[in-house]
Amino acid sequence: MKLTDISQARQERLSHIDFKAFFFGIVGRIDLVSRFGIKEASATRDIAFYRELAPGNLEYDTKSKAYVIKPGFTSMFEYSPPQVLAALSYGFGKDFVGIHKTVVPCEMPANLNHPKLSVLAVLTRAIHQGKAVRIHYRSIESGPGQCEIVPFVLVDNGLRWHVRAYCRKRQAFTDFVITRISEPKLIKGELQEHETREADIQWNRIVEMEIVPHPELPYPETIEADYGMRVGALKINVRAAVAGYVLRRWNVDCTEDHCLKGAEYQLWLRNRAALYGVENLILAPGYDG
């Protein structure tokens, strides 16, 4: 039987079994009862069904009265590292009810700012409904002002969240830091073709960057292992609109002769010519055109 033949509700319960077994090595009926509010008999059937689908994954442990993983355990579901780390940090399958607690000890960098949910909600409505928004915005360059924007995607640049949008005042696509937005209001009316995501050249252009260990490091193989490099390089495809943020976040030396000094510069951009035409390179460490 394929997972796609199983109801969504049961897939979620099977995923919960799989996740708990994979990352904790043990799973019991109480895990399903407390998470989904089902009866113990239903939890027993779900675990039995999971074992039927993946007979080599679990065995019953009489001492703990729960199921533990077998040596040849193979996950039934695919997980991405960000998904798993978020689940471990904030609670797997906790949704929005109750207090969220980490399920294993985790410590994360302090966030110095958070978007106001009342502002974020209007922006996400606009994105979902294909609407423009009138906002008050505080710019570092020009101070406070008002403008109309057409947002189409939220972006986490590693330090703060911003929204990529067409600005009707500037008549160009740009980034707006969400914490600098206030009093957003949806605007009725159809969008123009030049205001949509498809017209944003920087967003739609994909840049392949070749990142290698900084040539000044004595043991480059350590960095190769850190980033899972192959043949000494990490090739990543990013949108031109976020290339500068990526390079700054990871302190990638973008100078031609890898001349930036400091312990933070462990990476070097080997193919800096690929950045030609990228607009936010003021953020890229050492890039001078």
Q: Which string of DSSP letters, residue by residue, matches 30-76?
A: HHHHHHH---HHHHHHHHHHHHHHSTTTEEEETTTTEEEE-TT---S
Helices (H), the chain: 8-24, 29-36, 40-53, 81-90, 117-129, 201-204, 220-226, 240-249
Q: What gap in Å lies between CA 7 and CA 11, rounded to an integer?
A: 6
DSSP letter assigned to residue 230: B
CB atoms within 10 A of CB 134: 15
Q: How many angstroms separate the CA atoms of 280 and 205, rounded?
A: 13
Report the pLDDT value the prediction gives residue 99, as an integer from 0 to 100: 52
Residue 92 is predicted with a pLDDT of 62
Q: For the full predicted model, state whether its pTM sits above 0.85.
A: no
Report which residue type is found at 232: G
Who contacts 287 (Cβ-Cβ below 8 Å, separation ≥6)?
Answer: 247, 254, 255, 272, 275, 281
Is the Cβ–Cβ distance between 139 and 175 less than 8 Å?
no
189, β-bridge pairs: none
Hey, what domains does the chain have and what are their CATH numbers?
A: 3-77 (1.10.10.10), 117-199 (2.30.30), 205-283 (no CATH)
Q: Give the residues across from 144 on adjacent strands.
A: 138
The DSSP output letter for 109 is P
Q: With contact defined as beta carbons under 8 Å apart, do 33 and 40 qualify? A: yes
pLDDT score for 244: 95
Residue 90, number of CB atoms within 10 A of its CB? 14
In which residue ranges of the chain is pLDDT below 70? 91-103, 108, 289
Q: Cα–Cα distance between 247 and 254 in angstroms, integer?
A: 8
Tokens describing residue 233 = 């390089």
The predicted pLDDT at position 96 comes to 47
Question: pLDDT digits over 98-142, tens only?
Answer: 455 666 777 767 778 889 989 999 999 999 999 999 999 999 888
